[in-house]
């Protein structure tokens, strides 16, 4: 039995708050799922969540906009490189036209036999919309943004990781997590993430030995981690013990993220993975279930700092 079922979310460090919010909600047609702040450290930085209206785990993209504190990273090898979301077969043309018309340069290409639209987040992080015939999730329609169910994003397709050493990541992904290797070509490696719902999601490993090392810290312009869904705490703890027992000891203790519980592990290829499961109540723990993502919320442990943090956040119109 696999202890993973698909992705839980993907997390990026971006630049400006407004451009980030507009990109995901207005350009890509995702919904605001949660608006809170960075739980680690002391900097007042937003933590923004986007996805399907109901906040389904397999659809969530989260961001830390770092423009105000002025912390910027370097994209490179041994780091997650590309955010990939699934779209219906045949929807590429719609997205190429829409993105270009909205001032986001986009073009159609193919990798590992899958047609995809390539473009960039305003901060420069590569994004792709991938046609996935194996994905049976309902597309995220957003009529207010001109996106119908015929073309809407279905959720996370996966992440592409740039590495200097293919072998180390091959071992980690197949033995530690574990995933199934489904492609090994001159383009790199592809691993299928186990799922319970037929929504085939993947990890792509791109061999780029001549690309300089990328940033691992929380820093604008880089992908921070790829989060896999363990479904519950028992699976999370069992998988954590399995990974640590193999000798991958760069793995964190469980962290309380309010809406889910997390453990983080640094892969030998550099990319950071998270093992996550949604707690009872999920996004509705501090907002009405039918109005998630509409207000700025803080965890209880920040109650004494809320006014200070609000004053330090970058201004934005949501």
- The rounded mean pLDDT for the chain is 96
DSSP secondary structure letters along 107-145: EEEEETTEEEEEEE-TTS-EEEEEE-TT--SPP--BGGG
Rounded mean pLDDT of 167-181?
Answer: 93
pLDDT at 287 over 80: yes
Query: What is the reported pLDDT for 298?
Result: 93
Q: What is the pTM of this model?
A: 0.97
For the stretch 111-150, pLDDT in tens is 999 999 999 999 999 999 999 999 999 999 999 999 999 9
Q: Provide the pLDDT confidence category of residue 26 given band limits of 50, 70 and 90.
A: very high
Query: What is the reported pLDDT for 278?
Result: 97
pLDDT at 196 over 90: no
**273-258-204 Cα angle (round to 5):** 20
Query: What is the reported pLDDT for 78?
Result: 97
Q: Provide the pLDDT confidence category of residue 42 given band limits of 50, 70 and 90.
A: confident
For the stretch 149-171, pLDDT in tens is 999 999 999 999 999 999 999 99
pLDDT at 1 over 80: no
User: What CA–CA distance (Å, rounded) separates 140 from 310?
Assistant: 31
Rounded mean pLDDT of 187-195?
Answer: 95
Domains, the chain, in order of start with CATH, read 7-312 (3.10.180.10)
Query: What is the reported pLDDT for 177?
Result: 93
For the stretch 93-117, pLDDT in tens is 999 999 999 999 999 999 999 999 9
**Alpha carbon separation from 122 to 58, 175, 213 (Å, rounded):** 23, 36, 22
């Amino acid at each position: 039995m696999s202890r993973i079922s698909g992705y839980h979310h993907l997390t990026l460090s971006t630049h400006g708050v407004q451009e980030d919010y507009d990109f995901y909600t207005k350009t890509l047609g995702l919904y605001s799922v949660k608006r809170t702040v960075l739980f680690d450290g002391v900097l007042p930085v937003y933590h923004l969540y986007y996805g399907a209206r109901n906040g389904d785990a397999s659809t969530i993209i989260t961001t830390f906009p770092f423009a105000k504190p002025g912390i910027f990273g370097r994209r490179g090898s041994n780091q997650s490189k590309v955010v990939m979301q699934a779209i219906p077969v045949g929807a590429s043309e719609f997205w190429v036209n829409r993105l270009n018309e909205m001032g986001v340069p986009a073009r159609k290409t193919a990798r590992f036999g899958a047609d995809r639209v390539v473009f960039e987040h305003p901060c420069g992080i590569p994004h792709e919309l991938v046609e996935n015939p194996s994905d049976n999730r309902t597309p995220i329609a957003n009529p207010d943004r001109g996106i119908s169910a015929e073309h809407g994003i279905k959720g996370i397709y996966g992440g592409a990781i740039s590495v200097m050493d293919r072998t180390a990541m091959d071992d980690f992904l197949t033995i530690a997590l574990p995933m199934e290797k489904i492609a090994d070509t001159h383009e790199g490696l592809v691993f299928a993430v186990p799922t319970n719902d037929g929504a085939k999601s993947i990890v792509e490993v791109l061999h780029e030995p001549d690309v300089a090392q990328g940033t691992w810290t929380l820093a604008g312009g880089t992908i921070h981690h790829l989060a896999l869904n363990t479904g519950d705490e028992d699976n999370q703890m069992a998988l954590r013990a399995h990974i640590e027992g193999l000798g991958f000891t760069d793995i964190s203790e469980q962290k309380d993220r309010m809406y889910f519980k997390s453990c983080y592990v640094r892969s030998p290829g550099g990319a950071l993975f998270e093992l996550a499961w949604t707690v009872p109540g999920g996004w509705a723990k501090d907002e009405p279930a039918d109005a998630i993502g509409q207000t700025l919320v803080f965890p209880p442990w920040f109650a004494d700092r809320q006014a200070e943090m609000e004053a330090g956040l970058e201004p934005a119109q949501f």
